[in-house]
Amino acid sequence: MSTRKAVSGNVAAAGGWPQDERDAHQSADAAGLLKRAALASFIGNFVEWFDYASYGYLATIIAVMFFPKSDTTSGLLAAYGVFAISFLVRPLGGVVWGHFGDKHGRRVALSLSILIMSCSTFLIAFLPTYAQVGMLAPVLLLLVRVVQGFSASGEYAGASAFLAEYAPPGKRGLYTSIVPASTAAGLLFGSVFVAVMHAVLSARQLHDFGWRLPFLLAAPFGLVGRYIRLRLEDTPKFKALEGAQHIAKAPAAELLTRYRGKMVIAFGVTCLNAVAFYLVLSYMPTYLSTELGMGETESFVAATISLAAYIGLIFLMGALSDRLGRKTMLIAASILFALLTVPLFKALPGAGFATIVLIQIAFGALLTLNDGTLPCFLSEIFPTRVRYSGFAFCFNAANALFGGTAPLVATWLIGVSGNKLAPAWYLVGAAGVALVAMLASHETSRSPLPDD
């Protein structure tokens, strides 16, 4: 009798559910919410980086289709110039999306940004070529990519902050590593897609219509991502801040007055990510084919294999950052890049296919040390009130100056110096900047996410 009363009391206290069943339901709800947040974060970055992969891997064709006929280097410089200019709007986009996300919520900002980004990417598939409309073609290409760069500037930072604020204690590094994994997955799918096109389409077909195909996929991918994001709740951290009426009125102004030191550290450490990511994962196939004479199909296959290895390693590095700390991982990445980049580049000329693949996997492994840790570190270094703004501005400023310009700078450095190791030394310089920034930082993984 007493047992029945106790059970009845528990049921009544829980609003009709026994305590253990209520806890189980709450746990299941939290796990389901975290999975949906992870999927929503994954899709947006996947769409963005599938587009950038397609543009980067099709750069030689885009150069011919959108710019006046000239030598190969000039055409590539023009194509990469458009690629780079679209990044210059990213710091502005970071301020706008960060302001929007810190004032109105991460979910709303991410839902709107993926819609604009997908539409602008989709429009590239319908742009006229230089042969059809002359100089209007590169102008339209630039305009669309500027809109795309603006919308995409909120993706990486917003998705990382979103997951960091949802993740359970002790697993923030693992969960935020989903974001760089999604960027690599987009690049991987782009690499596979372009490799298949090179294998099954003739050169004429690639120039006639093939280059348009990857950009058509942005619309369905983007609509799926927006649908998932609209069905999510905002993060518990943001809702708590909103409930306490503690939302920052002017996040950008607050950043510049209270967190300038953290902004400098965030910018500095992101420089390595910016240069290494674009040189290793986007520019490398073009470098192998144009500078070292490797076949385009082989270079894309090598990139595909190395990207698959990168995705497998990124989660391991995210989990290791939870154990070893963000500072340890990011310093190790900077030192290893500084020591190994030039020797690895020197080993590329004359190497066989298997050796080139191993070298690219080695570069990818070095990159995961940084990339598997960086999104969590940048989420932890700023408080909830300005987390989106601080992350978005610093990340996008570094990528605008050193990331989107990396293929352009690498091509230009080789052209003016005649030294095919120039991109390697550029990467070593970025590693040095990141090392100095991390030596000036403190460990962030052992504490709860700061709110103020």
Please check the confidence at residue 256 and state whether its pLDDT lies above 80.
yes
Decide: helix, strand or coil at residue 126: coil
- To the nearest whole number, what is the mean pLDDT of the chain? 84
Please check the confidence at residue 9 and state whether its pLDDT lies above 70.
no
Cα–Cα distance, 351 to 441 (Å, whole number)? 40
* pLDDT for position 28: 52
CB of 113 closer than 8 Å to CB of 170: no
* pLDDT for position 273: 92
129-138 tens-digit pLDDT? 888 998 898 8
* pLDDT for position 57: 73
Among 435, 403, 252, residue whose Cα is nearest residue 338: 435
* Backbone angles phi and psi of 261, in degrees to 5: -60, -45
Residue 254's pLDDT band, with cuts at 50, 70 and 90, is: very high
| Lowest mean per-residue pLDDT among 26-40, 162-176, 262-276 | 26-40
Characterise 233 by phi-psi region: left (phi > 0), alpha (psi -120 to 50), beta (else): beta
Work out the average pLDDT over 287-310.
Answer: 79
The label of the residue with tokens 């296959």 reads 301
Per cent of the chain over pLDDT 70 is: 91
Decide: helix, strand or coil at residue 11: helix
* pLDDT for position 293: 77
Cα–Cα distance, 218 to 432 (Å, whole number)? 37
Core vs surface per residue 370-388: b (16+ CB within 10 A) or e: bbbbbbbbbbbbbbbbbbb
Among 180, 195, 142, residue whose Cα is nearest residue 48: 180
CB of 391 closer than 8 Å to CB of 264: no
Highest mean pLDDT among 119-123, 289-293, 335-339: 335-339
CB of 348 closer than 8 Å to CB of 448: no
Residue 102's pLDDT band, with cuts at 50, 70 and 90, is: very high
| Lowest mean per-residue pLDDT among 55-59, 191-195, 196-200, 240-244 | 55-59
305-315 tens-digit pLDDT? 888 888 989 99
Residue 383's pLDDT band, with cuts at 50, 70 and 90, is: very high
Please check the confidence at residue 253 and state whether its pLDDT lies above 70.
yes
Q: Which spans in 372-405 are helix H?
A: 374-381, 387-398
**Within 10 A of 400 (CB to CB), how many other CB atoms are there?**
24
Residue 73's pLDDT band, with cuts at 50, 70 and 90, is: low
- CA angle at residue 404 from 403 to 407, to 5 degrees? 90
Please check the confidence at residue 5 and state whether its pLDDT lies above 50.
no
Cα–Cα distance, 126 to 128 (Å, whole number)? 7
The more confidently predicted of residues 247 and 21 is 247
CATH architecture of 37-226+251-439: Up-down Bundle (1.20)
Please check the confidence at residue 152 and state whether its pLDDT lies above 70.
yes
Work out the average pLDDT over 12-41.
Answer: 59
Cα–Cα distance, 327 to 427 (Å, whole number)? 20
Work out the average pLDDT over 392-396.
Answer: 94
Residue type, 316: L
pTM to 2 decimal places: 0.82
Please check the confidence at residue 409 and state whether its pLDDT lies above 90.
no
Please check the confidence at residue 13 and state whether its pLDDT lies above 50.
no
- 393 CA to centre of own chain: 14
Cα–Cα distance, 316 to 283 (Å, whole number)? 25
Cα–Cα distance, 415 to 431 (Å, whole number)? 23
Work out the average pLDDT over 312-321.
Answer: 94
**Count of alpha carbons within 13 angstroms of residue 387, beta-carbon side:** 32
* pLDDT for position 12: 42
Per cent of the chain over pLDDT 90 is: 33
* Backbone angles phi and psi of 281, in degrees to 5: -100, -20
Work out the average pLDDT over 338-352.
Answer: 90
- 142 CA to centre of own chain: 21
421-441 tens-digit pLDDT? 888 899 999 999 999 999 999
Please check the confidence at residue 288 and state whether its pLDDT lies above 50.
yes
Whole-angstrom CA distances from 208 to 71, 123, 134, 203, 270 are: 20, 17, 16, 9, 39
The DSSP element (H or E) to which 108 belongs, if any, is helix 106-124
Residue 115's pLDDT band, with cuts at 50, 70 and 90, is: confident
Highest mean pLDDT among 37-46, 183-192, 382-391: 382-391
CB of 172 closer than 8 Å to CB of 274: no
